[in-house]
Structure 1
Amino acid sequence: RALALVEAGTHRRVGVWDRETGETRWLIDDPERNIERAFVPRGSDGSTAVIVEARGARARASLLDVASGAERRLPEIPGDLIPLRDLGGGWWVGEYASSTRPDDLVRFRIDDVRPEAFVSLTRVWERTALRPDDLAPAEDFRWRSVDGLEIQGWLYRARGAARGTVVLIHGGPTWHSHDRVDPELQYYVARGFNVLAPNYRGSTGFSLSYQEAIKEDGWGGREQDDIRTGIEALIAAGIAEPGRVGVTGTSYGGYSSWCQITRCPPETVAAAAPICGMTDLVVDYQTTRPDLRPYSEEMMGGTPEQVPERYRERSPINFVGNIRGQLLIVQGMRDPNVTPENVRAVTRALQEAGVEHQVLAFEDEGHGITLPKNQRVLYRRLADFFEGAFSS
């Protein structure tokens, strides 16, 4: 027998496949659930499966009796807990992480699922001078987009009066911002900024329909409205101030940063620092890795030759004359995905339009700034850039 996790159009279902008969007995088949993982714990007798369901950008686990289909859902707690192995006697080993606790292997009782009761097996806090109080907790922040769709993001608040707000946009777009320790995000909070990490339509962590919704418009569609309306919701709530909001992100987060700075007035987006972001979708299609081109075609509805107007209207390079905020472009010069040609093309356009800008290039980086020595440079530079933009 084998445990099967199968896509069924609008959702994923879980069943047991019998190799001898070829039949599958479905245990969970619910369009309202967003199951992302299903596995039988190592060392178990195969009677229990662990089901991991994404709800509201969190991972929620349950234990499924394979014979009866009875399911025991674990309590909802801050962060993500994934049971990995049954130790017997009610004790389990699991993986746990949250915005105030680094990824950790923990021992816990299945009848007492509280983070404060978990026993760290990696002794993570003995390996760092940081304490949980040094890290900002994630708050669930929600708003409505232009079409009424509810959008979720993680809000992190600075201690005391904030210097401004940084919107940190995740890449992918098939990914999502988690309630987990993010060094870049935590650094901005420590420097005095509020931070919003939005999970725009197209993000994982919610439902298959939410994840697929970005394909209705293609890149540069309503997911960009989701981000903008998140900024407007922060301002309306008194969390952010007009003229003191900046955007940044890597890859699709970089592309989104370009979209925001070319579409929004400075009262909404005062500064942008796109990192390895597409600027001209035609140039990107022509210069990226050949294996990535079918993804562009899927998202844009065809090749640049087939739908030239869509590529034109969704390329920020064609709208740099609209920029009224401050701009810092960050690029890895060995990037095979979003190649440096994107930067060369857009800097020419910026110069022709008379738009002031800065460029921070890393000769030893590819797609994203990943080397610790470069991250130290990047995070400080970005924090200084936003601080200067908000005070000017």
Structure 2
Amino acid sequence: MGYETQYVHYQALTTNAEVLLNKLTSKTSNNIYRFTPDKSLTHWLVAEEDQQSGSVHFRLYLAESDTWITPLSHIESSQTDASWSARRVPIQYQASDGMPLFGYLTLPNGYVASEVPLVVFPHGGPWNRSHGSYNRISQFMANRGYAVFEPNFRGSTGMGQTYMTSAQRDFGNGRVQQDIIDGVDYLLENGVGRADRLAIVGHSFGGFSAINALAFTPDKFSVAFAAAAPNNMSDTIRHYKSAIPAVFLPMRLPRFSALMVDITNRQDVTHLYEKSPDKHWQKIDKPLYMWAGAQDDRVAIEDVREFALRLQADGKAISLVSDAREGHSPKSTLAKDGYLYLLERALFTHLHGRMEKQVTPSLTRYFDKFMTIDTNSVKN
């Protein structure tokens, strides 16, 4: 039986399984690994990830002959020297209502923890989780001189049914968002980060949390980066319902109704809207940087643009990149570069970390083509 807490664990349920498990784990040295058997349980693929470099090494265990082979060694990338990589550690903290929560902290090398800017990086989903494995965006931000906090707020998966359902549909300006803020306060109180240099960064539901933070805790954060970000979860579920294949609806809509909002119930929808940044957008007074894909089947590009235009019309500091070719996440190399440059520029401008200032001609053309709103002067 395999399961995951901060890291990966396996538990043998029989005596024979224990013997086998001991053989499999004898070759693992990291905290992140996976065992995958064939149907006969005689061939076991062991995939082991180096937490610091993200490199994955594969071995095949042949149980009948008790031998190990490395069939993919000729095409595996060589293990990268991970000395440059920032340290990533699990942390546990207590929410303001007493519930124990956990997440991960990535600390930049060569800096004093209490002196670096702190970036909060909530995961998407929200029924997902941050893992102990390598995270390239966290490492990217740490490389630029920021401490990165990834909270597994209640509603996150992997910690059991009670942990996931304890959000009790309290999204927007509610319990879930407070879990994120409680984690920030815990780190500040324990000598990580600077209270005057805080940012929040997120994609999908994480982007929703980032906009929430500007709307409901406007004095706390200096800047937010929100990608593929809803501003009203009810509208997003309606769009998702119309965009996904009908075969998935009987499974996914009841999940939304049970865990977040019933979009067929007007009172339910109104309740969530009252706690959403869509209702409280005028409270936003800090810079917001947004990235969105026009082909997104989860978050409607029309909703993202309308929200950004509303902020622009009111004189807010808002930048929006609307990539006509991309979906929920950037896929092309150029789109990924544009995404990371926008993130890097937002953090550099307002938290004053490091930045690679040289921009390639292709990246310049990317922003000329897809930068829809730019009151933050990203292109200058």
* Structure-2-length-normalised TM-score: 0.76
Question: Would you say the 8 A contact 2:172–2:276 is kept in 1?
Answer: no
Distance 1:345 1:186, change over 3 A: same
The amino acid across from 1:257 in the alignment is: A
- Give the structure with the larger helix fraction: 2
After TM superposition, the structure 1 stretch with the greater mean CA deviation from structure 2, 249-258 or 368-377, is 368-377
Cα deviation for residue 129 of structure 1 reads: 8.1
For 1:276-315, what aligned pairs fall within 5 Å after superposition? Answer: 276-290=228-242, 291=249, 294-303=254-263, 305-315=266-276
Structure 2: state its 5+ residue gaps.
243-248, 354-380
**Of the candidates 80, 104, 121, which is equivalent to residue 32 of structure 2?**
80
Question: Do residues 157 (structure 1) and 107 (structure 2) align?
Answer: yes
For 1:1-392, what aligned pairs fall within 5 Å after superposition? Answer: 51-56=1-6, 58-65=7-14, 78-85=30-37, 93-100=45-52, 101-106=54-59, 122-123=72-73, 127=77, 130-161=80-111, 163-218=116-171, 220-266=173-219, 268-290=220-242, 291=249, 294-303=254-263, 305-391=266-352
* Higher RCO structure, 1 or 2 (CA under 8 Å, sep 6+): 2
Distance 1:82 1:172, change over 3 A: same
The amino acid across from 2:8 in the alignment is: A
Distance 1:227 1:311, change over 3 A: same
Structure 2 counterpart SS, 1:309: helix
Between the aligned partners of 2:44 and 2:17, the Cα distance in structure 1 is 22
Between the aligned partners of 1:323 and 1:121, the Cα distance in structure 2 is 55
Structure 1: state its 5+ residue gaps.
1-50, 111-117
Cα deviation for residue 157 of structure 1 reads: 0.6
The amino acid across from 1:135 in the alignment is: S
Question: Would you say the 8 A contact 1:104–1:121 is kept in 2?
Answer: no
Question: Would you say the 8 A contact 2:124–2:205 is kept in 1?
Answer: yes
Structure 1 counterpart SS, 2:279: helix
| Percent of pairs with identical residues | 21
Task: Give the alignment's Cα RMSD to 1 decimal.
Answer: 3.3
Cα deviation for residue 329 of structure 1 reads: 1.2
Between the aligned partners of 1:66 and 1:374, the Cα distance in structure 2 is 51
Which residue in 1 is equivalent to 2:362? none
Cα deviation for residue 344 of structure 1 reads: 2.3
* Structure-1-length-normalised TM-score: 0.74
Distance 1:370 1:167, change over 3 A: farther
Between the aligned partners of 2:16 and 2:60, the Cα distance in structure 1 is 26
The amino acid across from 2:168 in the alignment is: K
Structure 1 counterpart SS, 2:311: helix
Between the aligned partners of 2:18 and 2:69, the Cα distance in structure 1 is 30
Between the aligned partners of 1:103 and 1:321, the Cα distance in structure 2 is 46
Distance 1:165 1:69, change over 3 A: closer
Question: Would you say the 8 A contact 2:156–2:164 is kept in 1?
Answer: yes
- Give the structure with the larger strand fraction: 1
